[in-house]
């Protein structure tokens, strides 16, 4: 009887310790993600302001319009950005607004194709996870001297969220490593979808492509 009571006590103690450990791990994960978000938000905001600043001298009316679009984007960053997961539809709208600003900045030589369904009825994603890949395409794939093409697609297929961002590289473009946004995105993916996502980055002399597959269901470390 003593042995049984001792064994039961040890079971509950070990189970309690396990729950405490799991709670600590979850808290650590959330703190790391918050830190990464604080890195991304100012980085994104400053980059977007720089894009609008470039419009002021070129086309003041477009600059005014872009400020209105930016206000909607920052509302998303401030309010939706605090959520662990948000509907895929909202993230696609956010990306679309960013593309709108970039189209206003650059000339008709820059062709941006954003392929998405009419509406995403399913799917959730961590907010601001994809925008760095889109930013990167404009940063390294656009020049005023020649025609440029950026192809972006986001859809749901075979129980997966599928994202692709492709850009042709200008002639004589230098191969550059991704900046803070790309690094933070990779870290977030490893924290939220450990061993449950597929990120492929292909960089060649004349093009750069990012492909990301995420599980459609809630197999993340956030729940």
pLDDT averaged over the chain? Answer: 78
pLDDT in tens, 119-141: 999 999 998 899 989 988 988 88
State the pLDDT at residue 67.
Answer: 86
Confidence of residue 78 (pLDDT cuts 50, 70, 90): confident
Kindly report the pTM of this predicted structure: 0.75
Q: In this predicted structure, which of 31-35, 38-42, 52-56 has the lowest mean pLDDT?
A: 31-35
State the pLDDT at residue 205.
Answer: 87
- Residue with the bigger pLDDT between 149 and 37: it is 149
Q: Pick from 55-59, 172-176, 177-181, 216-220 the range whose average pLDDT is largest.
A: 55-59
Confidence of residue 1 (pLDDT cuts 50, 70, 90): low
Confidence of residue 223 (pLDDT cuts 50, 70, 90): low
Mean pLDDT of 45-54: 76
Tell me, letter by letter, the H, E, C secondary structure of the chain. Answer: CHHHHHHHHHHHHHHHHHHHHHHHHHHHHHHHHHHHHHHHHHHHHHHHHHHHHHHHHHCHHHHHHHHHHHHHHHHHHHHHHHCCCEEHHHHHHHHHHHHHHHHHHCCCCEEEEEECCCCCCCCEECCCCCHHHHHHHHHHHCCCCCCEEEEEEEEEECCEEEEEEEEECCCCCCCCCCCHHHHHHHHHHHHHCCCCCEEEEEECCCEEEEEEEEECCCCCCCC
Spell out the domains of the chain, with CATH numbers in brackets: 2-215 (3.30.565.10)
Distant-in-sequence, close-in-space partners of 192: CB < 8 Å, separation ≥ 6 = 33, 126, 220, 221, 222
């Amino acid at each position: 009887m003593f042995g049984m009571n001792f064994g039961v006590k040890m079971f509950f103690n070990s189970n309690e310790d396990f729950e405490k450990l799991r709670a600590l791990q979850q808290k650590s994960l959330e703190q790391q993600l918050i830190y990464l978000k604080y890195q991304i938000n100012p980085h994104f905001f400053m980059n977007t302001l720089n894009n609008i600043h470039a419009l002021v001298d070129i086309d003041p009316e477009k600059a005014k319009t872009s400020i209105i679009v930016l206000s909607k984007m920052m509302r998303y960053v401030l309010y939706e950005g605090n959520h662990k997961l948000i509907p895929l539809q909202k993230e696609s709208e956010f990306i679309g607004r960013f593309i709108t600003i970039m189209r206003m900045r650059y000339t008709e030589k820059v062709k941006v194709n954003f392929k998405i369904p009419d509406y995403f009825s399913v799917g959730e994603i961590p907010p601001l996870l994809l925008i760095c890949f889109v930013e990167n395409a404009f940063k390294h794939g656009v020049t005023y001297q020649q025609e440029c093409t950026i192809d972006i697609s986001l859809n749901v297929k075979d129980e997966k969220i599928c994202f692709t961002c492709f850009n042709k590289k200008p002639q004589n473009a230098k191969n550059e490593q991704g900046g803070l946004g790309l690094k933070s995105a990779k870290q977030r993916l490893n924290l939220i979808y450990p061993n449950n996502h597929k990120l492929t980055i292909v960089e060649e002399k004349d093009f750069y492509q990012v492909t990301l597959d995420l599980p459609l269901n809630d197999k993340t470390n956030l729940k």
